[in-house]
Amino acid sequence: MQRALSLDRSPALGAVLRYFACTPLFALLAGLLLVWQGEAAFQSRWSPVTLALTHLFTLGVLGMSMAGALIQILPVVACSVLPHARTMAPAVHALLGAGTLALAAAFLASRPWLFGLALAALVPALLWLAGALAIGLWQRAPAGAAPMVATVRLALASLLVTVVLGTLLGMAFALPGVIPLDLARVTDLHAMWGLFGWGGLLLAGVAVQVLPMFQVTPLYDSRLERWLGSLVVLALLLCSVKALGLAPAIVLLSAFALFAVATLLLLKRRTRAADAMTKFWSLAMVCLLAAIVIWALPGEMAGAGQTLAVAVLFIAGFLYSTINGMLYKIVPFLLWHHKQTETAPGQRVMQVKRIIPDEVAQRQFYLHVIAVSLLVAACWYPEALARAAGVAISVSALSLGWNLSRACRRDLAQPAGV
Ligand code: HEM
């Protein structure tokens, strides 16, 4: 089935650009925090710095861009109408940004009132976003968008589970001793639903739609498109039953390995020359496979850095690389589309691919590769590499921010005939 777009349904430019602008800002903040705190971030998964960094990434970097992408893509690809989008988009953006900063500060300062403040912003932000998107996804989508819509619905359901568990954890910190929780178990479930269900499934759902479009590849195998989402959610439900042991986790990781291999094979069959997005997405899939291999290694072979390396490869290597690469397609396209609607007679709009030249995006790709490599290596050698990884993340984020902001400031109108 061909992938078609309804561009006349595109939301206001500012409504989504503000989300994408926050992606490099939160990545920069995470990089600077790592430079400041150094090896403390790699002491254990429970260290306050690690938890602050985790949420600067999951809510700030990934959450912001995923929310922006959904607010943009659903009306255009699935013809969804998001209720009160003009109020919802800026309000959710402000609450999500403020809540993420408060949550990171709460972990760093260990202050119950800061956890309360974070919950007061994050819970309405995420429920409002999920509610608006759910209403949008409930409407009849064109047949070509059906696989994406089905997977994104499951991703949204996973976000709700993540938020409920995150809220319970946040309340346990805001009101110490009042809510009896098995913190380790609830955190495992919260992290699992957030990373695999919300982050992983959303990217898989969007990939089946945008990879064939932007990279001119064949479509994904229709069985993978149809079953990946259900298989992942079923495995997550079974993982939530402790008594079933490792078997559901193996099913879950096999499903993601299948997705990574299928994506790499499709990228090989693209009919366009490799560009920055090809490289970011190939890196993302290699990182996903590496995370799965490291998870499967026996503890004595993988060493002390194993748990953190799996998380770093999944969050920064897989999820963030995919998003970083996609920003170089989405942002120029939005700017181009917006300018098209307001060009004066005798003028034409600069070609999309010239708005951010590919060589500029590819330079940032190499900075990103250095940042991810140092971050992974720092899981085993924190004293030597933690601060260097922080510097590399900051430099890569500055470069991404500079490239995006330059594109926004460019005058895209040219005299016709140029
Ligand atoms: C309402 C929003 C959220 C709140 C209030 C929240 C709160 C928390 C809290 C309090 C913990 C620490 C638990 C402990 O130390 O025992 C935690 C851990 C974690 N959260 Fe969230 N969270 C939220 C959203 C998310 C999202 C959307 C994701 C992923 C996409 C996520 C990923 C994680 C991960 C991976 C951990 C475990 C970190 C580790 O083990 O090092 N969180 N969260």
Tens-digit pLDDT profile for residues 14-68: 889 999 999 999 999 999 999 999 999 999 989 999 999 999 999 999 999 999 9
Ligand 1 pocket list (CB less than 6 A): 45-46, 50-51, 54-55, 58-59, 63, 103, 119, 122-123, 126, 162-163, 166-167, 169-170, 173, 183, 187, 190-191, 194-195, 198-199
- Domain of residue 225 covers 7-415
Partners of 414 in the β-ladder: 348
Residue 2 lies in a domain: no
Residue 308 lies in a domain: yes
> 331-344: string of b/e by CB count within 10 Å (b at 16+)?
bbbbbbbbbeeeee
Q: Which residue has the higher pLDDT, 148 or 306?
A: 306
- What pLDDT is stored for residue 1 in this prediction? 47
Residue 276 lies in a domain: yes
What is the distance between the terminal CA atoms of the chain, rounded to a whole angstrom?
36
265 pLDDT exceeds 50? yes
Is 13 in contact with 338 (CB distance < 8 Å)? yes
Residues 330-349: what's their mean pLDDT? 81
Using one digit for the tens of pLDDT, what is the confidence trace for 93-145?
Answer: 999 999 999 999 999 999 999 999 999 999 999 999 999 999 988 877 677 77
Three-state SS for 413? strand
Percent of the chain whose predicted confidence (pLDDT) is above 90:
75
How many Å lie between the centroid of ligand 1 and the Cα of residue 124?
Answer: 16
Residue 329 lies in a domain: yes
From 77, 98, 90, 123, select the one nearest 13 (Cα to Cα): 90
Is 339 in contact with 349 (CB distance < 8 Å)? yes
- What pLDDT is stored for residue 339 in this prediction? 82
Q: Residue 252: CA atoms inside 13 Å, Cβ hemisphere, count?
A: 24
How many Å lie between the centroid of ligand 1 and the Cα of residue 136?
Answer: 27
How many Å lie between the centroid of ligand 1 and the Cα of residue 73?
Answer: 26
Ligand 1 atom 29: residue of nearest CA:
194
Per residue, the 3-state secondary structure of 315-355, as one string, reads HHHHHHHHHHHHHHHHHHHHHHHHHHCCCCCCEEECCHHHH
Residue 1 lies in a domain: no
Burial class (CB in 10 A: 0-12, 13-18, 19+), 403: buried
- Determine the atom of ligand 1 nearest the C-alpha atom of 183: 16
Question: Which backbone phi and psi does 410 adopt, to 5 degrees?
Answer: -70, 145
Residue 71 lies in a domain: yes
Number of structural domains in the chain: 1
How many Å lie between the centroid of ligand 1 and the Cα of residue 78?
Answer: 30
Using one digit for the tens of pLDDT, what is the confidence trace for 57-107?
Answer: 999 999 999 999 999 888 877 777 888 888 999 999 999 999 999 999 999
Partners of 349 in the β-ladder: 413
Residue 75 lies in a domain: yes
Please tell me the distance from the alpha carbon of residue 204 to that of residue 256, in angstroms, as a whole number.
Answer: 9
Ligand 1 atom 33: residue of nearest CA:
191
| CB neighbours of residue 324 within 10 Å | 28
Residues 194-216: what's their mean pLDDT? 94
Residue 91, domain CATH: 1.20.210.10
Residue 350: C-alpha distances to residues 11, 333, 362 (Å): 21, 11, 20
- Determine the atom of ligand 1 nearest the C-alpha atom of 107: 10
Mean pLDDT of the residues in the chain: 92
Please tell me the distance from the alpha carbon of residue 30 to that of residue 266, in angstroms, as a whole number.
Answer: 33
How many Å lie between the centroid of ligand 1 and the Cα of residue 29?
Answer: 18
Ligand 1 atom 28: residue of nearest CA:
194
- Determine the atom of ligand 1 nearest the C-alpha atom of 126: 1
The pLDDT-based confidence of 4 (bands split at 50, 70, 90) is low
Residue 253 lies in a domain: yes
